[in-house]
Amino acid sequence: MLKFTVDVLVIGWGKAGKTIAGRLAGEGRNVALVERSPQMYGGTCINIACVPTKDLIDSASKRDGRDPVPYFSSAVADRDTLIAKLNHANHAMLEGKALLFDGVASFTGPHTVTVSGGDDEIAVHAETIIINTGAHPATLSIPGADGPRVYDSTTIQHINPLPSRLVIVGGGFIGLEFAQMFARFGSQVTLLEAGETFAPALDADIAERVRNMLEGEGVTVVTGARATSFHDTGNQVDVVTSERTFTADAVLVAAGRLPATEDLHLEIAGVATDERDYITVDDQLRTNVDGVYAVGDVNGGPQFTYVSLDDNRVLWDTLHDGPRRRNDRVAVPTTTFLDPPLSQVGMTMRQARQSGLNVLVATKDVASIAAMPRPKIVGQTEGLIRVLANADDHTILGATLWCIDSQELVNLVSLAMRLGARYETLRDGIWTHPSSTEAFNEVLGTLTPLA
């Protein structure tokens, strides 16, 4: 067994891990990074999640009636070409700067890890260990869940051929994105939501409109449909619920994500986890074991690559006696990449009513916003914009932006919220034309008390 002693060991090549590894190596520390699979250089986002799925979503929106099966195969090939370039580039970022090991890392003590890969085994000791193993799709504990026609959000990206009929189990943001995407690729899609309410995180009126949009594109949405088993018949799969059975060529299980900790042997190191098996950390990303930290999805925080990037900033300050903490985060935005994208930050209208604050609200259909010509120019006028403000101090409380470019607009609203800016700052801003940002000039001029 080869043995190495380094200053810092990073387990997992995700956004936080690769960034902090490069920064620490750049200041002269001896850094090692372990990744279990060469296909994951760079982490989840660029290899199997954010980037490849958005590439497929873009391809689906451009099919324009072309034959679904060959078009889907071509789109997957284009996806793979892009991801291979990004994977290679991410490896090159750290090559020569840190010791890079391929293999599965397992703790053998609080500061010692064994890396197993093939016939080789390596022992690495480090006083500083950063766990960055991320999360993976959750499975369902029901009969047939391991069947050959049951996929998760990773494996379905390479399904072959394109399924004529696809059942998606789970109505969260992953389920919604894949539902619209596969419908546009040409699949007949059925989306099953176990709860009685579709998209419960949204205000009810917005959820209804999103549902209508999906159904208008051919997606069948069924609420109150909890899958109880999958039965493979040899050439198709039956999805059994308490009410009825749905027959499909493939099933996508979009039932959330779980921490990737199963091979780490955290109990040997004494690292504590919570009831969901996420690694427990404080606001400085410290575990209960001195010198061991956890960053990214594995620590149970919001599972977004930009939050993982911020974990890198927090940990940098932790290691350098800086001020940044996890609890500094406010107004963290999110986007569900439907077409048009659906972005949120801060309160919904339902939450605002429950807050006890004096609230102003403005809601406008995108199609009716005269000051926002960009959606009409590109031919995508679906959606609405809703902004909530505090009537007493005029600060912004939240926004739901369902419109073209919302993934950019929400960042501007988020920044205004973090700075404590008054809503007039956005309302009276001087924005380029024609742009989506101009919507704020008009929408925020219609704020009225929330009923």
Q: Are 385 and 402 in contact (CB under 8 A)?
A: yes
48 is in an annotated binding site: no
| Domain 2-136+258-328 fold | FAD/NAD(P)-binding domain (3.50.50)
54 is in an annotated binding site: yes
Closest by CA to 213, choosing from 245, 191, 180, 244, is 180
177 is in an annotated binding site: yes
- Exposed e or buried b for every residue in 343-380, given b needs 16+ CB within 10 A? bbbbbbbeebeeeebebbbbbbebeebebbebbeeeeb
Residue 262 to residue 294: CA distance in whole angstroms: 15
pLDDT per residue rounded down to tens, the chain (451 residues): 899 999 999 999 999 999 999 999 999 999 999 999 999 999 999 999 999 999 999 999 999 999 999 999 999 999 999 999 999 999 999 999 999 999 999 999 999 999 998 788 999 999 999 999 999 999 999 999 999 999 999 999 999 999 999 999 999 999 999 999 999 999 999 999 999 999 999 999 999 999 999 999 999 999 999 999 999 999 999 999 988 999 999 999 999 999 999 999 999 999 999 999 999 999 999 999 999 999 999 999 999 999 999 999 999 999 999 999 999 999 999 999 999 999 999 999 999 999 999 999 999 999 999 999 999 999 999 999 999 999 999 999 999 999 999 999 999 999 999 999 999 999 999 999 999 999 999 999 999 999 8
Pairing assessment for the beta strands 227-232 and 120-131 based on DSSP bridges: unpaired
Q: For residue 151, give Cα distances in angstroms to 27, 228, 271, 336.
A: 43, 16, 32, 21
| Domain 334-449 fold | Enolase-like; domain 1 (3.30.390)
How far out from the chain centre does Cα 180 lie? 17
Pairing assessment for the beta strands 165-169 and 188-193 based on DSSP bridges: parallel
172 is in an annotated binding site: yes
Which of the 8 DSSP states describes residue 14? S
193 is in an annotated binding site: yes
175 is in an annotated binding site: yes
297 is in an annotated binding site: yes
Alpha-helical (H) ranges within 4-96 are 15-26, 44-47, 50-61, 68-94
CB atoms within 10 A of CB 419: 12
* Domains in the chain: boundaries: 2-136+258-328, 150-255, 334-449
Helix (H, G, I), strand (E, B) or coil at 222: strand
Look up 433 and say whether it is catalytic.
Answer: yes
Q: Which of 88, 158, 320, 433 is catalytic?
A: 433
Which of the 8 DSSP states describes residue 243? S
| Domain 150-255 fold | FAD/NAD(P)-binding domain (3.50.50)
Intrachain domains 2-136+258-328 and 334-449 with the same fold: no
Q: Are 254 and 336 in contact (CB under 8 A)?
A: no
Is pTM, for the whole model, over 0.75? yes
Q: Are 403 and 439 in contact (CB under 8 A)?
A: yes
Give CA torsion, residues 177, 296, 15, 34, to 10 deg.
-120
Only one residue has tokens 């920044």, namely: 415
122 is in an annotated binding site: no
